[in-house]
Amino acid sequence: MRPEDDRNETFLLWGRTSLAKPNNKSAGAGNAEHALSDHDYGIFDEHTHLPGHHYDHDHDDDFDDGPLEDNPLWQQDNIFLSTVGIDIGSSSTQVVFSQVHLERQGEALSSRYVVVDRRLLYQSPIFFTPYADSTDIDARALGSLIDQAYREAEVTPHDVDIGVVLLTGEALRRQNAEGIAHVIAHKGGEFLSASAGHHMESNLAAHGSGAVELSGEESSCVLNVDIGGGTTKLALIRDGILIQTAALHVGGRLLVWTERGQISRIEPRAAEVLSDLGHEVGLGDAVSDKMITALGEQMASIIFDIVTGKKRSDARWLTDPLEIPSDVGTVIFSGGVSEYVADPDISGHNDIGQTLGNQLRKVLNQNKSNIRFEAASGGIRATALGASEFNIQVSGNTGYLSDPGLLLPRKNMPVIRLTVDAENLTADGLQRRLIQSITDFDLTGYDEFALAFEWLGEFDYELLKRFCDSIVGYIESDTEHCDSSLYLLFDRDLAQSVGRILTTEHQVTRPLLVLDGLRFKEFEFVDLGRIRLPSRTVPVTVKSLIFQSHGMC
């Protein structure tokens, strides 16, 4: 340790300030004495240590020796996250662990990180989702299955950086669904969060099935059709970009029977379709081959007509309908029922799924068209794979955080999204839009929320100052949240500039977090993890929640 009387000169090394002993002799090109703290975030200015002087660290003779992955500069631009996706569906539950490699887009002069590689680490067996009765999921049995997956993967909750517990299909209708999701999320890892929603599930299935990747590779229009136990999810992708998602109430687990052929579970949707076909049945009634075939044919015809662009009054959409464009070149089937579309000889599980898949395969073969139909290799695992590998964004090291320990982490924060047109930006106009959007969102039950901005056009100091004026105007009018932290999220690299203007020029004292390189859609929610070193990045999970209005009756 250097003597106290030597610490009397301040110098700057790549923007970091340090105390050092006076140095009257050159220590090499651009060199000066410095402390270990100057390397905290991978800062390496070229320099030497002079003999006879006091230093608190050493350097290797050659910075190029050793693996590239050990270089702190490389570590700033490359992030590896351990992720988990837990998919609790109508008929099956599965757990998937992956590792995701994200890389900063340095060549594009951006702080945004993009996924460049994904590696599957472990996937659990396909478990049947356990039910205590017709209205409740068996929480204890479900927890045991997930514990088993963690043990077999040799993963602890502490090892998980980020992930999602996803409730899908008919599982959403169970009375204890929301509580179970949050309990599993809390148990599974600090940054694991509960989520549900038809749009999100459609999104994840499209990524997990490979449909998004295929569309990007072929520069084509692809439709992903994920047929699960209770719902069929659609995702339209063009040139690798997901355009629209939707869901309808058709699935392979809507009718279940015992080994003796007696109905053990019948969902209202299955009873409705059977009634329309002239079959009035209930719990305990015997099933017949005629009944099963009729139900399978009807549901297969609904799916086929929808994906080939026809309208069906009996589709029972759970979201806004999706109109299939004429240039769809490929339809990819994923989900549990797709296993039967791919291989009709696979054994069934005493539910309608096998018949639905076989009938769909039959109608596809009978109606030749210019559309290419394929079954995803991931099959039933598509949604879980998507949840563990896709649903991640990372905000780069250009963020501004006034107090990281106070502001992070955060879970299930609603996101209010606004577009900023630089050519028409006025402080008063944006302030009015902010206030109106927050009012329209209805934040009842939420103490904190995030404001997300899509910036259109160029930006300079004057425009950013005008933007910050509108933020300050909103803050001064917001008496309800006057003590709350302020979360601002951008798609462009604006965070540090906005943070500095707000704190240095406007003297904003509320705890402030500003992140950039992030993209959002309407009515989404966000989880923010703790800062990662040495990259100084923040892991972000973007989600939609639907527990209060899943649209299924």
Q: What does the pLDDT look like over 135-165, one tens digit per residue? A: 678 888 888 898 899 999 998 888 887 777 7
More confident residue, 438 or 340: 340
Please indicate, yes or no, whether the overall pTM of this predicted structure exceeds 0.85: no
Which of these, 451, 432, 434, lies nearest to 514 by C-alpha position? 451
Confidence of residue 36 (pLDDT cuts 50, 70, 90): very low
Sorting pLDDT into bands at 50, 70 and 90, what band is 446?
confident
Whether residue 10 is predicted with pLDDT greater than 60 in this model: the reply is no
pLDDT at 18 over 50: no
Mean pLDDT estimate for the chain: 79
Residue 49 has a CB neighbour count (10 Å cut-off) of 16
Q: Which CATH superfamily is domain 210-377 in?
A: ATPase, nucleotide binding domain (3.30.420.40)
Per residue in 202-220, pLDDT (tens digit) is 888 898 898 998 999 999 9
Q: Is 144 helix (H, G, I), strand (E, B) or coil?
A: helix
Which residues belong to CATH 3.30.420.40 in the chain? Answer: 73-199, 210-377
When pLDDT is averaged across residues 457-461 and rounded to a whole number, the result is 93
Q: What are φ and ψ of residue 421, in 5° steps?
A: -95, 110
Question: Confidence class of residue 6 from pLDDT cuts 50, 70 and 90?
Answer: very low
- Token pair, residue 48, equals 């030497």
Neighbours of 22 (CB within 10 A): 10
Whole-number Å distance between alpha carbons of 218 and 542: 27
Q: Decide if 280 contacts 357 (C-beta within 8 A).
A: no
- pLDDT value at residue 182: 65
**pLDDT-based confidence at 91, cuts 50/70/90?**
confident
Q: Which of 116-125, 391-400, 543-552 has the lowest mean pLDDT?
A: 543-552
Condensed to tens digits (0 to 9), the pLDDT of residues 242-300 reads 899 999 999 998 999 999 999 998 988 999 999 999 999 999 999 999 999 999 999 99
Contact between residue 56 and residue 36 where contact means Cβ atoms under 8 Å apart: yes
pLDDT value at 362 more than 90: yes
More confident residue, 98 or 189: 98
In angstroms, the CA 486 to CA 446 distance is 13
- What's the confidence (pLDDT) of residue 265? 86
Rounded Cα gap, residues 99 and 122, in angstroms: 10
CATH topology of domain 73-199: Nucleotidyltransferase; domain 5 (3.30.420)
**pLDDT tens string 158-197:** 888 777 777 765 555 556 666 666 667 666 555 555 555 6
Tell me, what amino acid is at 428? Answer: D
Contacts of 431 (CB under 8 A, 6+ apart): 470, 473, 474, 477
For 19-32, the DSSP string reads EE----S--STT--
Task: Give me the pLDDT at residue 497, please.
Answer: 94
Which of 1-10, 372-381, 478-487 is predicted least confidently?
Answer: 1-10
How, if at all, do strands 221-227 and 328-334 pair?
parallel
Q: Give Cβ neighbours of residue 127 (< 8 Å, ≥ 6 apart).
A: 92, 93, 94, 145
> Among 138, 190, 201, which Cα is nearest to 166's?
201
Structure-token match 């379709």, residue found: 273
Asked whether the CA dihedral 444, 139, 129, 543 is positive or negative, the reply is: positive
pLDDT higher than threshold 50 for residue 553: no
Residues in the chain: 553
**pLDDT at res. 9:** 30
What does the pLDDT read at residue 312? Answer: 93
pLDDT above 90 covers a percentage of the chain that reads 39
